Chains A and B, each alone.
Chain A
């Protein structure tokens, strides 16, 4: 499956200063019965967004109109728990292109990268600064530059670099997917199998 290309993004951001957001919250198990990759955005953070009667919970950040944008800013240890890739699909399908946190769980990070959703890991201090900035002004913008691997808080000009391995960076910049690459290695894989 090819993914959308990503180069730079300038956007407002939605703040979720909650630590250890696990993938059961991002997309509850009862929504995993679908057999396609689309439509999961509707159920993103379902049980935090809607109550039992399917009414929007007004205090939840995704229901507060002054917050909007294509960047989700989450507390430490974002995406822990189940390997469900549906979590990355739900976040992307909802409209986010980037998730920012000071710590990501491994499987979620890989799933995000495989779906054109960029996980940007920054320091605890900068994360805190971003949360405070958005709280002060929900119109605050962030600029994410994949080429230079920087994320900048436009209001202050403060920025940090983030890590991403060269291979994954190339994939995201060009919209390549791993399967095409692996299929191109068919002969090498067969040689490996015979050597054992």
Chain B
């Protein structure tokens, strides 16, 4: 029997049919839906006169457009309000479970899936959102798709996909103090570039990976798409099983025992082949920060921005275009640069551990007077937990305010937009031109690097304040 990787095992066991010299027909166990990429898909079903095929396997929540304050009031942006209403109407019409605005389980779709036990090891998951790779942290084959593919899954619970190649990224060793899963992710992308993973599905292995908590693993897998990879996954282990057990939609009783027995088989066979592999040492990773306009343009926080002297013509054009947009100069330091906004949140870093570490960092200190700080929990459950643990009080005393859950300033579809020309340290996942608002300038970083900037008003190495 040929040796299989974890990815092969999960993918192959979900293939319903194989088109000759074409894609696999892949069965999808769980389908997550939000308000932006689903309206046209539901409309397609309505046009065909068919209903959602497996509503019991479909879960929806509005996140991209929602305001992060006064969620109990009517949304004043007409298009946002209308798009969110459309999701509600579609879910009611098709019998799909919806955690709507003001529902106690509403939130950013990739925070909600895992916390409700919708995300399970060894399953396939899709969503009309590229950060679906987040769920790979559980040993799932999870990836983002476009609206037409959302329609395919709604109609048939299947999708047509060519099988990606397999990439292994191994990170061994112990992370230094103040170094987080976010920094591992930014480090990897800076090494393999935003196209390095294209055509591949990544498996993350190594002691630095297995030592991460589930939330740390989610942060890492979330950013797989930023290297161009289809998805990223980590083999499920005791840490995974303990996280999943008892959650709302997780199997119980005899079903749990059966599922657990299967999940324990989900690891890469010894001597299985990968199409590409990388090995990194945790000791080389420090707090990272991006300076450019794609997530691969990142450096160690104490380093200088590259000069671009060693680049070829086309690369040079992109590089200087990015520096020009960001208002930065090659060869200069990042430390000490003024920061206007700080954003803690998103499907990358909007979970309880991120809020705990931000709060613990700022406890007893004071927010910089000139910096605007948005703290956006990833879900209503995270928000609730922050209050139960007194995190909201710690934040208030330090001059901060907790907002309400949503994608918020990650992509600024709601009112949380960074103004033109302003600099933001963000714990989200993209720093493209205009991502956080037209003309906005994003520095991607970890929650504690964001906390450090929120206290000092400038880019600061968090280790200095630990």
Contacts and interface: CB of A to CB of B under 8 A. Distances in A.
Tell me if chain B binds chain A. yes
A83 B129 CA distance: 6
A193 B86 CA distance: 30
A189 B156 contact: yes
A36 to B, nearest CB: 7
B174 interface: no
B194 A20 contact: yes
Contacts of B435: 24, 29
Contacts of A76: 195, 314
Interface residues of A, number: 54
A19 B432 contact: no
B321 A36 contact: no
Given A28-B434, A167-B19, A185-B158, A83 B411 contact: no
A75 interface: yes
Nearest to A22: B432
A105 B432 CA distance: 15
Contacts of B158: 182, 185, 189
A32 interface: yes
B68 interface: no
Interface residues of B, number: 66
Contacts of A111: 146, 148
A57 B213 CA distance: 48
Contacts, number: 180
Contacts of A182: 25, 152, 155-156, 158, 160
B21 interface: yes
Interface string A1-38: 10000000000000001111010110011101111110
B67 to A, nearest CB: 14
A35 B65 CA distance: 13
Interface string A160-188: 00000111100000000111011101101
A106 B230 contact: yes
Interface stretch (B75-83, B278-286, B366-374, B398-406): B75-83
A145 interface: no
Contact of A85 (B77, B147, B420, B430): B147
Contacts of B157: 189, 193
A88 B146 CA distance: 10
Nearest to A1: B44
Interface of A: 1, 17-20, 22, 24-25, 28-30, 32-37, 47, 52, 75-77, 80-86, 88, 103, 105-107, 110-111, 114-115, 165-168, 177-179, 181-183, 185-186, 188-189, 192-193
Given A33-B413, A37-B147, A81-B130, 5 more contacts: A1-B151, A36-B43, A47-B433, A110-B145, A189-B157
